[in-house]
Structure 1
Amino acid sequence: MDFSEQELKTAYRTMRHMRNFDEIGRREFMAGTLPGFMHMYCGEEAIGAGVCAHLSDEDYIASTHRGHGHCIAKGCAIEDMALEIFCRQDGLCHGKGGSMHIADLKKGMLGANAIVGGSAPLAVGAALTAKTRGTDKVSIAFIGDGASNQGTVFEAMNLAVVLKLPAIFVYENNGYAEMTGVDYHCGSGDIAARAGAFGMPAHKVDGTDYFAVYEAMAEATQHARSGKGPVSIECIAPRWYGHFEGDPQSYRTKEEIADLEKNRDPILLFRDRVIAETGLTQSDFDAIDAESLEHVEKAMAAAKAAPQPEPADLLTDVYEVYD
């Protein structure tokens, strides 16, 4: 395994932060303290972590409505994220984005997006910026399996190929477009092959395997940064929860969900493999678990107690004023 112990600990901590942030957020939502909607990323952590491990603050990502994990993987401060999802004054977007529109441009995080397929045109625009300015930066569009059917995504992929833009289309195939199974809604049955038909390299990997995602992304970033144009990666990682928190999930069985948590947990799969192949131990990971839980719990508690925006704040951040 060609990773240092520190790299492995960092990757694990990132995924554990993702899981804790969403699980604690889910708890607060169910208690009625968290406004808006919650769309859980649990079960898909290895995708965001494996992709963003190759990115700097100057690279771009455009997210989906299931975007908390992407924010954490891109380096957004958990404290500021917690303030934002509680819609507090000092949040990343001053409390105006909430869960579904959270963004941090300082980290190259162009925003979670409630528009299905909305990430692809944004990411391609950022990729065009990088190419026009002559940088080696890349732009990532995270796309759900449902959004893979959107015309905006097809147009974005075609433009990226035509202009040879440094864009990487990461498909998070979690099995369902809202409540519709991918086997039904995807006519071709193969998201990666459909993306490849636009004329770019297209890969398909196990999205619960951090190392598979990491390796595919390493190849993709090298390709895109060297001026060879876009790449697509389909990552298959079933989601644990419903489309949104409160979704009764009548379209699948409890046995299916239980099996995912037992056999397809990307965090436990990572942990087991690393312990088997390196000098890291259970106690090393237990320590990270405890540290992460304390970190996220404190951030959420502080956010919940933070001041609400003032009424006058309603009129700020509405229009850009140019000199």
Structure 2
Amino acid sequence: MRANTLIQAYERMALIRAYENTVVSLAGQHRLPGTCTSIGQEASAVGVVSALSSDDLILTNHRSAGHLLARGADPARMLAEVMGKSGGYCGGKSGSLHISSKELGVVLTSTIVGGELSLVTGVALARTMLGQAGVVACFFGDGAACQGRFHESLNLAAVWKLPILYVCENNQWQAFVHRQETMLADGVVGHAAGHGIGGSRVDGMDVEAVREAAEHAISRIRETGAPHLLEVMTYRLRGHFEPDDQAYVDPAELARWRARDPLVLLRRRLIESGMADEADLDRIDVEVGVRLDRAVGVADASPYPERRELTSDVYA
């Protein structure tokens, strides 16, 4: 990746980290509800989403903030949504776990584990039947990959030859249970071959590696029309749901993964390669912090929805 591309990746990853740290702080102050964060998984979000085109669609899960911000979402509108304000992406009705944005091509965020896997085949089939170009990216975790709907979705996508990029963000933890307690295999990429589709695995703490793997997978999907499974080996550096002290996590394991913090790794790479210096990256960090402070102010100032909005956006 070129210097300007990597610096942009650092800026977007820093924005995601700052946003989620802000949400954690606000939740601790009881200014908004607790939420599921994806702190530690920023390289996965930025690496994959930056490889997509504007015509491609996204379906994601309950750890969706990184995917939305990587797609270009406004942190002020996201915070307003989490606060239940009318200025949010869904008018304050979705909270943090259901944000969607038609303008960004984010079809849905499902808080039901694996829910997006059930729906992505329909979205991709509709695009195919309508003759619409583009890949449909579906983000899910290793916990969802232990469910029957994962295999049903892959099987249908393979049989119907649907242009789906399945992205398993294997963050090692399924709520409060380590993945080694729920699967004998060392991951999920092996399931791809069983359904007759391509599969690949990448270091999810390295944004450059993720971007390259995603570009390769997307290129294959565009060329063949067939689905592909990309397993991103990453780690959730905070607990399942805020607040969470992670008392169930082996401290040594957490320390090992903290040493591979994707922001720290990218910062080091940029400096050691001469693409940027400490001052450049410090300036980005400051600018991101200022942007989040302003976003909090905008979200706070946004009004709550009026009572008449209670029955709008409801379909029968």
Q: Give the TM-score band, short-chain normalised.
A: over 0.9
> 57, 62, 83: which is aligned to 1:86?
83
Measured after TM superposition, the shift of residue 178 of structure 1 is 0.6
Identity %: 34
Q: In 1, are the aligned partners of 2:55 and 2:133 still within 8 Å (CA)?
A: no
* Alignment pair present for 1:177 and 2:174: yes
**Structure 1: stretches of 5+ with no match in the other structure:** none
Q: In 1, are the aligned partners of 2:82 and 2:96 still within 8 Å (CA)?
A: yes
* Alignment pair present for 1:304 and 2:304: no
Question: 1:184 and 1:49 mapped to 2: Cα distance?
Answer: 29
Question: 1:232 and 1:191 mapped to 2: Cα distance?
Answer: 9
Match of 2:99 in 1: 102
Question: 1:139 and 1:79 mapped to 2: Cα distance?
Answer: 26
- Deviation readout 1:26-70 (Å, 9 max, x if unpaired): 0000110013x3111110000010001112332111111111111
Q: In 1, are the aligned partners of 2:170 and 2:187 still within 8 Å (CA)?
A: no
Match of 1:31 in 2: 29
- Deviation readout 1:93-141 (Å, 9 max, x if unpaired): 0000010111111111122211110112222222222322333300111
Q: In 2, are the aligned partners of 1:120 and 1:156 still within 8 Å (CA)?
A: yes
Question: 2:246 and 2:212 mapped to 1: Cα distance?
Answer: 33
Which one-letter code corresponds to 1:269 in the other structure?
L
Q: In 1, are the aligned partners of 2:90 and 2:99 still within 8 Å (CA)?
A: yes
Q: In 2, are the aligned partners of 1:60 and 1:123 still within 8 Å (CA)?
A: no
**Structure 2: stretches of 5+ with no match in the other structure:** none
Measured after TM superposition, the shift of residue 153 of structure 1 is 1.5
| TM-score normalized with structure 2 length | 0.95
Structure 1 SS opposite 2:189: helix
Match of 1:158 in 2: 155
Match of 1:251 in 2: 248
> 106, 122, 125: which is aligned to 1:125?
122
* Alignment pair present for 1:285 and 2:281: yes
Q: In 1, are the aligned partners of 2:165 and 2:217 still within 8 Å (CA)?
A: yes
- Deviation readout 1:232-263 (Å, 9 max, x if unpaired): 111111111111012342321334334433x1
Match of 1:7 in 2: 5
Question: What is the correspondence of 1:126-275 to structure 2 with a 5 Å cutoff?
Answer: 126-261=123-258, 263-275=259-271
Structure 2 SS opposite 1:208: coil
Q: In 2, are the aligned partners of 1:130 and 1:166 still within 8 Å (CA)?
A: no
Question: 1:120 and 1:211 mapped to 2: Cα distance?
Answer: 26
Question: 2:69 and 2:192 mapped to 1: Cα distance?
Answer: 27
Structure 1 segments of 4 or more deviating over 6 A? Answer: none
Question: 2:213 and 2:250 mapped to 1: Cα distance?
Answer: 32
Q: In 1, are the aligned partners of 2:87 and 2:299 still within 8 Å (CA)?
A: no
- Cα RMSD, aligned residues only: 1.5
Paired positions, count: 316
Structure 2 SS opposite 1:111: strand
Q: In 2, are the aligned partners of 1:144 and 1:173 still within 8 Å (CA)?
A: yes
Question: 2:250 and 2:179 mapped to 1: Cα distance?
Answer: 16
Structure 1 SS opposite 2:23: helix
Deviates more, 1:304-313 or 1:84-93: 304-313
| TM-score normalized with structure 1 length | 0.93
